[in-house]
């Protein structure tokens, strides 16, 4: 555990003022009818607004009731997230082939970094979404026969004071009662599964939603028993924010292969299709217009959805001093840069085995270029420990040190003055969800730009990343306190925190959990989460997941210095793992150039359109119109800090 004093000193890393050219949290959306991009879905407020608009456009129904809100969320997820096997998260720092629950349970990570997951993963995410949409404990994962499904607790109208209702994204299924008045729970479906799970039984009751939308036999095969429930099985922490440093660009490719079309970088299972890596044939992703009113399950088409890539290229400007915008620490013999992303660093595996991503020898996740000859070290636990990568060289590949993670620190064993003139460039390639990248349609495209001006620093989600910030307790204790600060003496404006708790089997619903923060070294505390409880509602089976999550966020008043985050409860419940994050104002915001590349008519050389935006926090700018021809297909979208 790092001492509080040294943690603060390293985190602050105060430098002389420089005219930086960074951009905090640039985002774009287009007026594409299905895939407008991250600015349409990067917070729950934006997400729910988009879901409601799409749902009303397609079904003609407004989202005034719990039922319609839940259906709008379920519909949207069907064409933005696919069933496939994602790579592990090494949350417990035991290695890729070690033990521990490595399921990706954080909502924004799942939606932006992955876009794929198995049944338990996607439905854990939906617990967090329903909490934000409907209220505390209004969603749960349900274990059924060979499958993990999901139920939302709906109220009002036919649901009265409340009933559980099936919302199964993974097999694209909701089931109404025989009269079509309300959605049914798994228990109710099980009682008459022969009829209720039959897509042809009183078809009109389904209001246009096909039962077993991905494969006709799915529903009948799984809703035959109710084995367990998982309350609060997923959580949400900081929404996705990209902080582009001076001299850094982020280019997102909608198809695998990067710029040469054959460099495949991913984080998931290699299904060994025509293109290596994760993919899904049965899904509504990339064909959302076919879902509502479908009379048969979607056919199996190889590569109906695949992964996308987000590639960061950072060229620090040592001559002007702009490099300081990316520095977490420096001295007479070293410079240390930080890297954070809402995506997940991928790799080109060293072999074609299904899980080759975990094997040593992976490439193309982090590559250095330039004429450097100094030593270089990598830390993935906030500088607590360092891995010596040896002497730098042009084309040096450091992928094995950082793959599968969302943050790293990289330390060059030379001062900035010696790195000037080396043309140092750091290229980090990530796996991301294709559905959240802005797309162009045929004809006129209205492009909306917005930058919040924020960056994020994180103590977690990995255990070691949080342990580097411990000032009280340890993982597994009943009370834990972390301390972190915005880098470069920036001002923190929001704190996010989450805890993975051993809540019991069944979970102890009477226990109250607290998350608090302090900006005066622990002298006084304010609430992030107050009296959080695991809310249990009947019906229930005999078995339960013995864990759950507690999470929340709170505004900060431009805090320039350390923030403590304390986790506690009144039930003697152990915290398996905790994490905390700060959103902070990025000083000296500079302009950012946005570029779209697309093809027309089914191929050919890509066309490009660019525009430079001031990048300063403010209102959305919707003045940019891009004209495209017929059969426009977006190839990549790039943001470049100037």
Q: Given the DSSP bridges, would you call strands 592-600 and 633-641 parallel, antiparallel or unpaired?
A: antiparallel
- Where does a domain end: 567, 585, 603? 585
- Give residue 615's pLDDT: 85
Domain presence at residue 522: yes
Q: How many CB atoms lie within 10 A of CB 21?
A: 22
Q: 116 and 212: one domain?
A: yes
- Give residue 273's pLDDT: 93
Q: Which domain holds residue 579?
A: 4-15+452-585
Q: 9 and 70: one domain?
A: no
Q: 468 and 525: one domain?
A: yes
> Across the beta sheet with 562-569, what order do the strands follow?
470-472, 480-485, 562-569, 513-518, 526-532
* Residue 472 phi, psi dihedral angles, 5° rounding: -150, 130
Beta strands in 46-124 (DSSP E): 82-83, 116-117
Given a contact cutoff of 8 angstroms between Cβ atoms, the answer to whether 519 and 491 are in contact is: no
Q: 579 and 529: one domain?
A: yes
- Give residue 20's pLDDT: 53
Domain presence at residue 114: yes
52-84 pLDDT, tens digit each: 999 999 999 999 999 999 999 999 999 999 999
Q: Dmax of the chain from CA atoms?
A: 76
Domain presence at residue 482: yes
Domain presence at residue 495: yes
Buried b (16+ CB within 10 A) or exposed e, 68-94: bbbbbbbbbbbbbbbbbbbbbbbbbee
Given a contact cutoff of 8 angstroms between Cβ atoms, the answer to whether 637 and 251 are in contact is: yes
Strand partners, 151: 140, 166
Q: 158 and 9: one domain?
A: no
- Give residue 480's pLDDT: 98
Taking the C-alpha atoms of residue 84 and residue 306, their distance in angstroms, rounded to an integer, is 10
Domain presence at residue 34: no
Q: 11 and 97: one domain?
A: no
Domain presence at residue 75: yes
Dihedral (CA of 218, 219, 222, 228) sign: positive
- Where does a domain end: 231, 255, 276? 231
Q: 70 and 167: one domain?
A: yes
From residue 94, alpha-carbon distances to 90, 101, 379, 441 in Å are 7, 11, 15, 45
- Give residue 21's pLDDT: 78
Q: 145 and 9: one domain?
A: no
- Give residue 12's pLDDT: 40
Domain presence at residue 128: yes
Q: 9 and 96: one domain?
A: no
Domain presence at residue 597: no
Q: Assign residue 527 the CATH number of its domain.
A: 2.60.120
Taking the C-alpha atoms of residue 286 and residue 302, their distance in angstroms, rounded to an integer, is 12
* Residue 498 phi, psi dihedral angles, 5° rounding: -150, 150
- Give residue 100's pLDDT: 81
Q: 47 and 10: one domain?
A: no
Contacts of 53 (CB under 8 A, 6+ apart): none
354-403 pLDDT, tens digit each: 999 999 999 999 999 999 999 999 999 999 999 999 999 999 999 999 99
Q: 11 and 150: one domain?
A: no
Q: 87 and 213: one domain?
A: yes
Tokens 């003022």 appear where? 17
315-366 pLDDT, tens digit each: 999 999 999 999 999 999 999 999 999 999 999 999 999 999 999 999 999 9
- Where does a domain end: 562, 585, 608? 585
Taking the C-alpha atoms of residue 454 and residue 618, their distance in angstroms, rounded to an integer, is 12
Q: How many domains does the chain have?
A: 2
- Give the DSSP H or E segment for 480: strand 480-485
Taking the C-alpha atoms of residue 186 and residue 189, their distance in angstroms, rounded to an integer, is 5
Q: Kindly report whether the global pTM for this prediction surpasses the value 0.75.
A: yes
Residues of the chain with pLDDT under 50: 1-19
Q: Which of 619, 632, 223 is nearest to 453 (CA)?
A: 619
């Amino acid at each position: 555990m790092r001492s509080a004093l040294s943690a603060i000193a390293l985190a602050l890393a105060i430098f002389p003022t420089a005219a930086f050219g960074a951009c905090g949290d640039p985002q774009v959306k287009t007026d594409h009818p299905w895939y407008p991009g991250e600015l349409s879905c990067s917070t729950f407020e934006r997400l729910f607004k988009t879901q409601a608009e799409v749902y009303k456009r397609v079904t003609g129904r407004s989202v005034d009731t719990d039922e319609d809100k839940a259906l709008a969320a379920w519909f949207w997820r069907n064409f933005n997230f696919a069933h496939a096997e994602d790579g592990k998260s090494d949350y417990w720092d035991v290695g890729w082939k070690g033990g521990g629950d490595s399921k990706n349970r954080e909502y924004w990570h799942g939606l932006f970094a992955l876009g794929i997951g198995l049944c338990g993963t996607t439905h854990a995410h939906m617990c967090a979404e329903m909490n934000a949409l409907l209220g505390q404990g209004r969603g749960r994962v349900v274990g059924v026969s060979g499958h993990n499904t999901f139920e939302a607790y709906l109220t009002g109208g036919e649901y009265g004071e409340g009933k559980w209702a099936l919302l199964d994204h993974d097999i694209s299924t909701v089931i109404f009662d025989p009269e079509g008045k309300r959605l049914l729970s798994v228990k109710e479906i099980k009682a008459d599964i022969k009829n209720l799970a039959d897509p042809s039984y009183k078809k009109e009751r389904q209001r246009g939603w096909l039962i077993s939308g991905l494969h006709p036999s799915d529903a009948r095969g799984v809703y035959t028993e109710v084995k367990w429930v998982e309350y609060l099985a997923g959580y949400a922490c900081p929404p996705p924010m990209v902080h582009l440093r001076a001299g850094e660009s982020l280019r997102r490719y909608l198809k695998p292969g990067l710029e040469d079309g054959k460099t495949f970088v991913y984080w998931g299972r290699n299904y060994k299709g025509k293109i290596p890596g994760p993919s899904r044939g049965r899904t509504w992703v990339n064909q959302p217009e076919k879902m509502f009113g479908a009379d048969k399950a979607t056919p199996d088409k190889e590569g109906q959805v695949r992964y996308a890539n987000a590639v960061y290229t950072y060229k620090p400007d040592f001559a002007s001093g702009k490099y300081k915008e990316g520095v977490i620490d420096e001295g007479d013999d070293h410079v240390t840069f930080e890297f954070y992303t809402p995506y997940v660093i991928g790799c080109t595996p060293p072999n074609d085995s299904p899980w080759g991503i975990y094997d040593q020898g992976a490439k193309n996740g982090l590559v250095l270029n330039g004429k450097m000859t100094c030593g270089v070290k990598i830390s993935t636990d906030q500088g607590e420990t360092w891995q010596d990568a040896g002497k730098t060289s042009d084309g040096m590949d450091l992928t094995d040190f950082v793959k599968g993670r969302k943050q790293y620190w990289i330390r060059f064993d030379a001062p900035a003055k010696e790195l000037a003139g080396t043309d140092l460039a750091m290229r980090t390639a990530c796996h991301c969800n294709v559905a959240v990248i802005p797309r162009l349609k045929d004809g006129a495209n209205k492009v909306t730009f917005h930058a919040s001006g924020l960056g994020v620093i994180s103590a977690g989600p990995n255990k070691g990343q949080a342990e580097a910030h411990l000032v009280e307790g340890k993982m597994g204790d009943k009370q834990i306190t972390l301390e972190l600060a915005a880098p470069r003496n920036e001002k923190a404006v929001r704190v996010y925190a989450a805890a993975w708790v051993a809540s019991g089997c069944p979970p102890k619903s009477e226990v109250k959990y607290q998350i608090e923060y302090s900006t005066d070294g622990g002298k006084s505390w304010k609430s992030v989460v107050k009296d959080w409880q695991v809310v249990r509602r009947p019906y229930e089976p005999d078995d339960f997941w013995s864990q759950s999550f507690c999470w929340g966020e709170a505004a900060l008043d431009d805090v320039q210095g350390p923030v403590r985050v304390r986790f506690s409860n009144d039930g003697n419940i152990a915290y398996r793992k905790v994490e905390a994050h700060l959103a902070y104002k990025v000083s000296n915001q500079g302009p950012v150039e946005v570029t779209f590349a697309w093809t027309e008519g089914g191929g050919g050389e890509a066309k490009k359109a660019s525009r430079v935006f001031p990048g300063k926090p403010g209102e959305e700018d919707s003045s940019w119109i891009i004209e495209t021809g017929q059969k426009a297909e977006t190839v990549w979208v790039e943001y470049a800090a100037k």
